[in-house]
Amino acid sequence: MITTLRKDRCMRVIVVLAMLLIGFGLVVYYRSSRNERPFIVVSIESINLDGESRSYRLTVPASRPDAPLPIVVALHGIGDSTESMAHYSQLDRLAARGECYVVYPEAYKAMWNVVGISPENLAQNRDLRFIDELLARLRNQLDIDGVYLIGMSNGATFAQALLFTRTDIDAVVAHSGSKPKGLEPSDNASPILLIVGANDPVIDAIRRDAATYRAAGYSVQLIEAPHLGHQWSTPHNAQIEQFLLRRRQP
């Protein structure tokens, strides 16, 4: 009986000590994490354009880069936000590793203006002007070498509109969004990665887009994510990063 009581007491002491050690370990880890220097700096900024305030989320490496870096322009879908796209795309990891800057512009009323877009009305498109002004500002603030576009759904369509109408786009990732109907591929045949869910209603249109790009001389890659509908394919984030980082290789 005495032996049993002693064993019970020993077990209770061991359990209490283990709990104390675990608690101490968590506190040390938490404090250690708080004392570490941040890898990125995130800011919310805005541009006044035609009397309207247009905002964007900018992510840069915490340490000043030794050389110019490309900038990734991440364009969210309809009803989406800059914060949610940063979350599911995980693009901030590129900035944390010092490989690029990332900017997430916010669409006017949560939708990029691609409906009815045509060569005749490009000058009146407020979103095209917004991206022009944004890149001009960032080039004055940062040492930029290369512009990459990533878009989701409506943002993917807008990314392709920028590719067709601007000459300074070096690569495009278009996720779940077909090319704009009123525009055709231009001579700026930058590499393009198309990603679409196998169960996405727009898959046939994006397959046709891939054929159109190839016929126009573009370097195009098409990924069809199995069992995926009209949503972002997080498992392909690493492949997206590899596609973009290949652009930096000499």
- pLDDT tens-digit series, residues 130-152: 999 999 999 999 999 999 999 99
Does the pLDDT of residue 33 top 60, yes or no? no
Q: Which amino acid is at 118?
A: S
107-120: average pLDDT: 95
Q: Which residue has the tokens 């669409």?
A: 107
88-105: average pLDDT: 96
For residues 125-137, b (16+ Cβ closer than 10 Å) or e, as one string? bebbebbeebbee
pTM: 0.84
Confidence at 38, pLDDT banded by 50, 70, 90: low
Q: Which amino acid is at 193?
A: L
- pLDDT tens-digit series, residues 190-234: 999 999 999 999 999 999 999 999 999 999 999 999 999 999 999
User: With contact defined as beta carbons under 8 Å apart, do 29 and 59 qualify?
Assistant: no
Around Cβ 192, how many Cβ atoms within 10 Å? 25
As given in the structure block, the two tokens for residue 136 are 């001009």
Axis-axis angle for helices 154-165, 126-141 (nearest 10): 70
Does the pLDDT of residue 112 top 60, yes or no? yes
- pLDDT tens-digit series, residues 65-96: 889 999 999 999 999 999 999 999 999 999 99
List CB contacts of 215: < 8 A, sequence separation 6 or more: none
Confidence at 186, pLDDT banded by 50, 70, 90: confident
User: With contact defined as beta carbons under 8 Å apart, do 178 and 202 qualify?
Assistant: yes
What does the alpha-carbon distance between residue 177 and residue 194 come to, in Å, rounded to a whole number? 8
Tell me the residue ranges of DSSP E strands in the chain. 40-49, 52-61, 69-75, 101-105, 144-152, 171-175, 192-197, 220-225
Confidence at 17, pLDDT banded by 50, 70, 90: very low
Q: Which of 108, 221, 188 is nearest to 154 (CA)?
A: 108
